[in-house]
Structure 1
């Protein structure tokens, strides 16, 4: 994936990422709140070698002290020191439990022993640190004078134990910060997993990444069309502008051999193929070019009803010879360039009628400068659209953003290819104007069919199948 893909994913899932991040931070804060407070007091002791008469004696004494402090570090962690500290505190805690609450370290290249002691209160931590330093000095003194001889080396208190002003544990700020980072990582991980597992087509790049078929248009969701139907006027709306883009792309996709008869279909019902066919026909008529819209969905016809036309006579009557095309063509709109042929009576054998020679002769009986759009059934449930496409200049496949999956569109295109049908392109319908892809409807948007070159999740055989068909044509 490219950087823009990551940005799109984050924009699509920013709310979930934010919620997970806040929940993780809240969990870290709650965890910190229920943990017992621990205070840490620190103090130190230093190994001394007495006075020195010269600089040489001082250097020798210093080196001797540094060498002895390594041994004293082990002594400082002994049970003997712990027992003296316990007696000093007057506590009944065992020596082992006190050892667990104390740490002793020797800063590099020094003769100092630094003691850190933990307690439930500041005073308890301070008292333990002082008692521990006292125990260390006592044990070292006993060892150094055990043979009765005088010694010049001794362990003395350097810094008295401090009184902590704030607990050292739990570190609420650090825990919340770590919770935020962990939550952010989990949120981003969730978004990326969802994106990888998301098989729905949402943007043109999703189609072009997976298929060698251009996206001829991206249509935004239009609430007025959803409520009032495809016959509602959409002049000046983002939908009308997007339809004009699709119309222009269709007109210029093959300048030397422009398609005259185009099937409009989809993978499944409800993807918006009939609405797209009607809007596209209206847009072509606006340019002054004659366009004929034929309702060839002989199973669930809707074009005449949506446009408020008579649906009693139409395509089926022409195919069986009961009417002439000019008898059932009805003018639609105010442009004077758009005619509609309703489906007519629903026959018992739609596939046979649509695949007949009479159907093909009808489609190419109109003037060469007239664009014929054929609204057909979906590709996956029935074979009608595939049969029609094989006998026309190609098909526009309408996919519903957020509903049509990669696998469904792959099956639909495969059905076309089995009969050597030509997919002219995909129109992605119903893109949200507020979510990812909404930037497509800003001023100056232009369609491009350049492929990103990124690998998709479909199999290589499926991609090769599409590429082979394209090469043959």
Structure 2
């Protein structure tokens, strides 16, 4: 009888499925927002120039005769060159050359330098709203870097030649013709020649062309990201609402939180005025009567209390529907309206009720107070065959619980048992007042009623705690407002060919859906 507490992945999937409209709405909003922002964003164009960065040049042997400089880490050297491309002086030269109205830092924010792990090629990419300007900046930056490398290399050789010249001048006249002096003269001459031949070790291998299409924004990608993000957010929202919304959403949750089997699932009627005459409802109530009957096998007569965790769960409708189903099975049935706080039987028939339960407890006769109603029309019946005996609540007492605690209530129920095969007692909700706890010891079994999207998980748990404390025999749960689905549609009425409209004029009782409120 203990409701299951564990939550499985299937429960999460069921929660998402129940709120699939919310998920689709969030997906549509996210995708639409992402697409709108993307389409309204300023277009950006990418232009890319490529540089080849070489290692040590032949003339570098003048500085490093042993070749130790060529042994330095190539990756580290390449990363150093990448940093040199992005330093301020190079960008400053480009900004001044092109007359750009932006700072050096703003210009560098447009530049992205990437290297390859398999070659010495460096990609120099520039992003700008103007495609022509993007290409101009990329080419100018590449040229400026090459020129920077050339000037740096030449300056290095000139400084070395000046050093050799100073060393040569430090020698006296005769010493200049010594091998050391001659070597300094040759070294100075070679350095000056090398300075004029320097290329800087960098070459533009591909100049940037004017881009034809924009690199940003990318509406399709933005929409795809919006769909994925919206799907994730939609699922999160559905799960969050599932935690916040405590109402039971389907039969699985009813069974889970009550910890009881489903006796029957009463669907909503296909038409507002159908209710008890709805074929699917008739079938569902027939199943309910059969299940209740099978639970009481071996007993000549049974007394079953029908109650619910909270008001508006539909217990009175279920009581009347079950009574009609019993009558159709050829069983005699008596219904006792023991909900003395909010009597509701009067909403289902135009018959004026008698003193009822309160009158019998005050000294009246059960036989005199019973009203026999036709099971199909809920109108007065001339006999008891195929009819339902109804003992209405009567006048609302000041203290319903004390009234039901009257010892004569047990006698009323026993007399009703002796007169019928089945006695159904419509009791006040378990979670609202204690009236049902007074009646529980007087009955043989309890059937609870839960309405989809009405009964809450907390109410279900409270009701089951009450049932456990009473040590009552809970047969199961009747689900009202259940989704009919394909099985419900199977019973949809199909008019016969050439059949005339159904004649009116037959007097019938008001249906549950026509009542302003539900018990």
Q: Do these two structures clear the TM 0.5 threshold for a shared fold by scoring above it?
A: yes
User: 1:289 touches 1:337 (CA, 8 Å); kept in 2?
Assistant: no
Could you tell me which residue of structure 1 aligns to residue 480 of structure 2? Answer: 429
Could you tell me which residue of structure 2 aligns to residue 181 of structure 1? Answer: 228
2:14 aligned to which of 8, 23, 35: 8
Partners of 2:346 and 2:42 in 1: CA distance: 76
Task: Give 1:252-267 correspondences, 5 Å limit.
Answer: 252-255=294-297, 260-267=302-309
Could you tell me which residue of structure 2 aligns to residue 363 of structure 1? Answer: 413
Tell me by how many angstroms 1:128 deviates.
0.7
Tell me by how many angstroms 1:92 deviates.
5.0
Could you tell me which residue of structure 1 aligns to residue 245 of structure 2? Answer: 198
Tell me by how many angstroms 1:407 deviates.
1.9
Tell me by how many angstroms 1:403 deviates.
1.5
User: 1:314 touches 1:328 (CA, 8 Å); kept in 2?
Assistant: yes
User: 1:32 touches 1:171 (CA, 8 Å); kept in 2?
Assistant: yes
Task: Give 1:283-432 correspondences, 5 Å limit.
Answer: 283-303=325-345, 306-325=348-367, 328-333=370-375, 336-365=386-415, 366-367=417-418, 370-432=421-483
Instruction: Classify 1:103/1:410 alpha carbon distance in 2 versus 1 (closer, same or farther; 3 Å).
Output: closer
Could you tell me which residue of structure 1 aligns to residue 255 of structure 2? Answer: 208
Tell me by how many angstroms 1:192 deviates.
0.6
Partners of 2:366 and 2:73 in 1: CA distance: 117
Structure 1 unaligned segments of length 5 or more: list them: 53-61, 445-473
Instruction: Classify 1:332/1:63 alpha carbon distance in 2 versus 1 (closer, same or farther; 3 Å).
Output: same
Could you tell me which residue of structure 2 aligns to residue 158 of structure 1? Answer: 205
Could you tell me which residue of structure 1 aligns to residue 269 of structure 2? Answer: 222
Count of aligned residue pairs for this structure pair: 428
Instruction: Classify 1:235/1:50 alpha carbon distance in 2 versus 1 (closer, same or farther; 3 Å).
Output: closer
Report which of the two structures shows the higher radius of gyration computed on alpha carbons: 2
Partners of 2:111 and 2:370 in 1: CA distance: 98
Residues 1-23 of structure 1 deviation map (CA, whole Å, 9 limit, x = unaligned): 44543443233222221221121
Partners of 2:119 and 2:431 in 1: CA distance: 82
RMSD of aligned C-alpha atoms?
3.4
Could you tell me which residue of structure 2 aligns to residue 125 of structure 1? Answer: 134
Partners of 1:440 and 1:8 in 2: CA distance: 20
TM-score by length of 2: 0.73
Tell me by how many angstroms 1:165 deviates.
1.1
User: 2:452 touches 2:480 (CA, 8 Å); kept in 1?
Assistant: yes
Partners of 2:419 and 2:359 in 1: CA distance: 24
TM-score by length of 1: 0.79
Instruction: Classify 1:297/1:50 alpha carbon distance in 2 versus 1 (closer, same or farther; 3 Å).
Output: closer
User: 1:319 touches 1:358 (CA, 8 Å); kept in 2?
Assistant: yes
Could you tell me which residue of structure 1 aligns to residue 37 of structure 2? Answer: 31
User: 1:264 touches 1:373 (CA, 8 Å); kept in 2?
Assistant: yes
Instruction: Classify 1:115/1:308 alpha carbon distance in 2 versus 1 (closer, same or farther; 3 Å).
Output: same
Instruction: Classify 1:395/1:80 alpha carbon distance in 2 versus 1 (closer, same or farther; 3 Å).
Output: same
Tell me by how many angstroms 1:304 deviates.
5.3
User: Does residue 145 of structure 2 align to residue 136 of structure 1?
Assistant: yes
Could you tell me which residue of structure 1 aligns to residue 293 of structure 2? Answer: 251
Instruction: Classify 1:70/1:300 alpha carbon distance in 2 versus 1 (closer, same or farther; 3 Å).
Output: closer
User: Does residue 100 of structure 2 align to residue 91 of structure 1?
Assistant: yes
Tell me by how many angstroms 1:393 deviates.
0.6
Instruction: Classify 1:389/1:88 alpha carbon distance in 2 versus 1 (closer, same or farther; 3 Å).
Output: same
User: Does residue 116 of structure 2 align to residue 110 of structure 1?
Assistant: no
Please say which of residues 254-263 and 74-83 is displaced more in the overlay: 254-263
Task: Give 1:460-471 correspondences, 5 Å limit.
Answer: none
User: Does residue 89 of structure 2 align to residue 80 of structure 1?
Assistant: yes
